[in-house]
Amino acid sequence: MAEKTEVVFVDGVRTPFGRAGEKGMFWDTRADDLVVKAMIGLLERNPSLPKDRIDEVAIAATTQTGDQGLTLGRTAALLAGLPKSVPGYAIDRMCAGAMTAVTAIAGGIAFGAYDIGIAGGVEHMGRHPMGFGADPNPRFLAEKLVSGEALNMGNTAERIHDRFPGLTKERSDRYAMRSQQKTAAAYDAGKLQPDLIPIATRSGAGWGLATRDEALRPETTMEGLAGLKTPFRPHGRVTAGNSSGLNDGATASIIASADAAKEFGLPVKMRMVSFAFAGVEPEIMGIGPVPSTEKALRKAGLSITDIGLFELNEAFAVQVLSLLDHFGIDDEDPRVNPWGGAIAIGHPLASSGVRLMIQLARQFEEHPEVRFGLTAMCVGLGQGGSVIWENPHFTGKKGKK
């Protein structure tokens, strides 16, 4: 049996993330057009990649209907101008859709079936709210396989607060405020803009151009957060301020074997070390990244102390805090989400996994003293996903910020 092939993250891009709904900047933009524009932008950035050498296109969406249906990977490939010889498929693992697209392509490369693939995701939550049109099997509730609250992500976050009293609303609010501040600082320093693909928008006011995320709230204060409603239960702790919003957006990445990247002169921004997915009780789905991270660390032969940078999806502040507490990491640890996260940027469900990777890849360039990084996220219905990456710029010495 041959040794597994080394898998690398070549490049990744995303659209700006918009607010979902009629007032959002992408209300009149099709979901498939968002991911097609991301793919076109990605290919334009990597002109040395022969399009006919792309072996697979995997595009995720949580609600696969309408303009998010019809086997997105294949339709997006055709719309993006790839040769008809390039196949594609669609993936659904709710919030971890794009992450699963990456790991599925990576598995094919490691096995030797692929050399290069495109992996990404899209979610237009304005057109397709989470769970819209789904018909959960009545046995879920009738046979008590899950609580009714397991089908509402906000309720699962409240349950994490219940289970871990040390995870207070004040901590969640403070974490959320810091996320907003860090993202605003990252924008001011020009950290996020290089990987954003501008998108033409259309509305009643005419044509526009989306160049930055729409839901940013850098003016957020603890006082403002304290006064927000708790929509999931009276006197609860989960609010719109300490959660990600409802968003529209898309991501795309090139995943390749190290040999193929070298053959075509493609950059190597990260090397994949290991990945893992894990299941937990659906009622407290937010703790999913804890066992998936433990699993990924075990497969890599590493410990949490080896991880020098963390990109954790902020579906809810309490969900990130539960992982930090488990591993003994401080709420303000500078290794965690240095440029903020989904609370500020947004979380268009199936697209977010690649956003985490895009940001980690950029941070690796700035931190040659860091060897390993983690991208991790919770997943609806009680799952977690984690991918460990190695920094190809690692020297062991601190670089310039």
398 falls within a domain: no
Q: Could you report the per-residue pLDDT of 102-119, keeping only the tens digit for each? A: 999 999 999 999 999 999
Residue given tokens 């096995």 in the structure block: 111
Catalytic residue set: 95, 347, 378
DSSP 282: G
How many folded domains does the chain comprise? Answer: 1
Given this model, what pLDDT does residue 400 score?
56
Which residue range is the domain that position 280 belongs to?
7-128+245-389
Given this model, what pLDDT does residue 399 score?
67
376 falls within a domain: yes
301 falls within a domain: yes
Strands (E), 103-157: 116-124
Lowest mean pLDDT among 164-168, 201-205, 224-228, 265-269: 201-205
203 falls within a domain: no
Q: Could you report the per-residue pLDDT of 335-365, keeping only the tens digit for each? A: 999 999 999 999 999 999 999 999 999 999 9
CATH number of the domain within which 356 lies: 3.40.47.10
Q: Could you report the per-residue pLDDT of 6-30, keeping only the tens digit for each? A: 999 999 999 999 999 999 999 999 9
- Interatomic CA distance for residues 27 and 267, integer angstroms: 35
354 falls within a domain: yes
pLDDT at 1 over 60: no
Q: What is the pTM of this model?
A: 0.97
Q: Could you report the per-residue pLDDT of 85-99, keeping only the tens digit for each? A: 999 999 999 999 999
Please give the distance of CA 109 from its chain centroid, rounded to a whole number: 21
200 falls within a domain: no
178 falls within a domain: no
290 falls within a domain: yes
